[in-house]
Structure 1
Amino acid sequence: MIGGPTVLIEIAGFRLLTDPTFDPPGLYRTAPVRFEKTSGPALPVEAVLPLDAVLLSHDQHLDNLDASGRALLPEAGVVFTTPAGAGRLDGNAVGLEPFETRELTVPGNGRLLVTAAPARHGPPGIEPITGDVAGLLIGIETPGDAIYVTGDTVWYAGVAEVARRFSPRLVIVFAGSAEPRGAFHLTMDANDALETANAFPGATLVAAHTEGWVHFKESATQLAAAFAALGIPERLVVLEPGRATPFPPDGAPA
């Protein structure tokens, strides 16, 4: 965990980074939505390099891609994101339609399979306001058999369709119940995360994008309490910022 939605993933010899955010705390925008950051990254940009790929759910919001994160993108081998985002970023960005799969290859490391997943950044009808968002799945043998990064989404039919098609062992859930507009949440709240856990019964969930900005209303601690209240605390892992966490945890079989 680097901070916010930014997680460094080391898998099968590859180094991947989700939504890069490395700017310091501060007030970054007041209108039309207030974006105020309350904590900085646990590691500097230099600590996450080199990168084989960035998994970018979307480029249009500062809490998912800030100035320092944007400057980092050319350092990655490739940036997987939405088609609209790839058009804006150009360079090494590759846009994927929902359920489209591309191979990521690095000499000496073999390959990974990267698949885009649908995402909806809030309630029905929010799309013209929030713009396109994607989840990203990582596969080793088959598409989506390893990791699913939800991106900024709520629980809805698109996430349920991901569960029908894929069986990842790890789901990095962007939670926090973000409410920058005050009227509704734009990322998963505890109920959404519990729905996700139920839809992926064979997966461990990792909490991300729960803290670091004033518009997040549910912390990782509160999310963990919800899982514990339902008797499934082992289904959710809360990462310690700046420290590597092995998976499977505690030497459990892969």
Structure 2
Amino acid sequence: MSITITLIGGPTALIEIDGFRLLTDPTFDAPGDYQLPHVKLEKLTGPALSARDVGDVDAVLLSHDQHSDNLDHSGRDFLKSAKRVLTTQAGAKRLGGQAEGFAPWASTTLKKGGRTLAVTATPARHGPAGIEPLSGDVIGFVVERPKPGRPVYVSGDTTWFDGVAEVARRFDCGVVLPFAGAAQTRGPFHLTMDTNDAIETARAFADAVIVPVHTDGWAHFRQDASDLRASFDTLGFGRRLRILEPGVATVIES
């Protein structure tokens, strides 16, 4: 079975599956700077599609709200018109409105025209062990459609750790979207998956199609899609890697 994914930029992708339209981490601002409490982030490129181009969605899958490279000013505006916003428990309290908070492994069901999708929040760790007091809570998502369709995994901002491995043990995902730009700000460590993490993820999800996002558009990313391509090709995983062209709806067979 197939799904359609349109990369909009950074962590923002439109996932169309069984008649549902899901948007990950909305970022629609033009390039510019964002001063966070501990660091300044610089956005280098704007979105391939505007919020108006995207139109209505059935749900926003928001991995976290506290960092501007995952939810910027225009993204916050987009949330106001979204039918459902699924995010962390802490994020839902901050955002209010229709935001719904989920702890890892909690689930909900999306319904539309007699069809359903199950969405399960998954663990995420936004950097090395012990980073949580600085980075805040983050979740990923598994989206399950009726069989024979296979689940889709959206990692959110995370590195490779036991929580991601547990997702692979619990769900036979056919498509995996790792957030894989090797983000680095204040410390010598990365805050999202680097090429090694992405390879470990591909190994864990043994035959899934790997569709990286969050690899472009920000100054604090240390690796990009070309680094992933080189690593995957060298280690024999290249046939499973799909690099998306921003703004182009791409059909992924799973």
Aligned to 1:41: 47
How far apart are 1:74 and its partner, in Å?
1.8
Query: 2:106 — aligned with what?
Result: 100
Q: Supply the distance in 2 between the matched residues of 1:96 and 1:30 (Cα, whole angstroms).
A: 24
Write the distance in 1 (CA, Å) between the matches of 2:28 and 2:187. 25
Aligned to 1:4: 10
Partner of 1:192: 197
Match of 1:87 in 2: 93
**Aligned amino acid, residue 10 of structure 2:** G
User: Is 1:178 aligned to residue 186 of structure 2?
Assistant: no
Alpha-carbon separation, structure 2, partners of 1:168 and 1:234:
17
1:208 aligns to 2:224 (yes or no): no
Q: Distance in 2 between matches of 1:75 and 1:109?
A: 23
Q: 1:7-58, CA deviations, whole angstroms, 9 ceiling, x for partnerless residues?
A: 0011000000000000000122276212001000000101111110000000
Shift of 1:202: 2.2
Change in 2 beyond 3 A, CA 1:85/1:238: same
Q: What do residues 157-184 of structure 1 show as CA deviations (whole Å, max 9, x unaligned)?
A: 1111111111111000000100011411
2:150 is aligned with 1:124: no
Once residues 19 and 176 of structure 2 are traced to their aligned partners in structure 1, the CA distance between those partners, rounded to angstroms, is: 19
1:55 to 39, 61, 77: 61
Q: Distance in 1 between matches of 2:207 and 2:96?
A: 37
Match of 2:156 among 148, 151, 157: 151
Query: C-alpha distance in 1, partners of 2:114/2:211?
Result: 25
Distance 2:217 2:85 in 1: 24
The equivalent residue for 2:26 is 20
Q: Which string of whole-angstrom CA distances, capped at 9 and with x for unpartnered residues, describes residues 120-149 of structure 1?
A: 00000000000000001100127x942100
Tell me the amino acid that sits aligned with residue 198 of structure 1.
Answer: R
**Equivalent of residue 229 in structure 1, options 234, 245, 249:** 234
Structure 1 residues 109 and 35, CA gap change in structure 2 (3 angstroms): farther
* TM-score scaled by length of structure 2: 0.94
Counterpart amino acid of 1:208?
A: V
Residue 114 of structure 1 pairs with residue 122 of structure 2: no
Q: Which residue of 2 aligns with 1:251?
A: none
Sequence identity, in percent?
57
Comparing 89-98 with 209-218, which one deviates more in the overlay? 89-98
Gaps of 5+ in 2: 1-6
Say if 2:177 and 2:210, in contact at 8 Å, map to a contact too.
Answer: yes
Q: Which has the higher contact order (CA 8 A, sep 6+)?
A: 2
- Is the Cα contact below 8 Å between 1:13 and 1:109 reproduced in 2? no
For structure 1, list consecutive stretches of 5 or more residues without a partner in the other structure: 249-253
Count of matched residue positions in the alignment of Structure 1 and Structure 2: 247
Equivalent-residue separation in structure 2 for 1:157 and 1:232 (angstroms):
21
Partner AA of 1:240 in structure 2? E
**Aligned-pair Cα RMSD in Å:** 1.3
Q: Is the 8 A contact 1:139 1:145 kept in 2?
A: yes
In the alignment, which residue of structure 1 is the partner of 2:143? 138
TM-score, normalised with respect to structure 1: 0.94
Measure, in 2, the Cα distance between the counterparts of 1:23 and 1:180.
20
